[in-house]
Amino acid sequence: MSKNVLILSASPRKGGNSDLLCDQFILGAKEAGHHVEKIFLADKKIGYCTGCGSCFSSHKCVQKDDMAEVLEKDDRR
């Protein structure tokens, strides 16, 4: 059974050691027949949580940044 795999590369550098490990994980997941997508977080504008608590009731962040795009890729939601 094929699964969707989302890789979040939090490496500060493309091609750095952590990013290369993500790429190796991707190769293994693809060889196993899974659909894989990698998001390089350094390319995204994501603000820090301000602790406002608005998401507790609305389940959405009030900040208008790229985090909403990343969260949409989570198919468990």
Is there a domain that residue 77 lies in?
A: no
pLDDT at 76: 58
pLDDT at 60: 86
pLDDT at 74: 76
Low-confidence ranges of the chain (pLDDT < 70): 75-77
CA-based nearest residue to 70, from 48, 37, 31 = 37
Domain that holds residue 20: 4-72
Is there a domain that residue 11 lies in?
A: yes
Q: Are 4 and 39 in contact (CB under 8 A)?
A: no
Is there a domain that residue 28 lies in?
A: yes
Quote the Cα angle for 56-63-48, to 5°. Answer: 85
Total domains present in the chain: 1
Q: Tell the residue number behind the tokens 């795009």, with chain if given.
A: 69
| Those residues with Cβ within 8 angstroms of residue 1's Cβ, 6 or more apart along the chain or in another chain | none
Per-residue pLDDT reduced to its tens digit, 29-46:
999 999 999 999 999 999
pLDDT at 5: 94
Single-letter code of the amino acid located at 6: L
- pTM for the full predicted model: 0.78
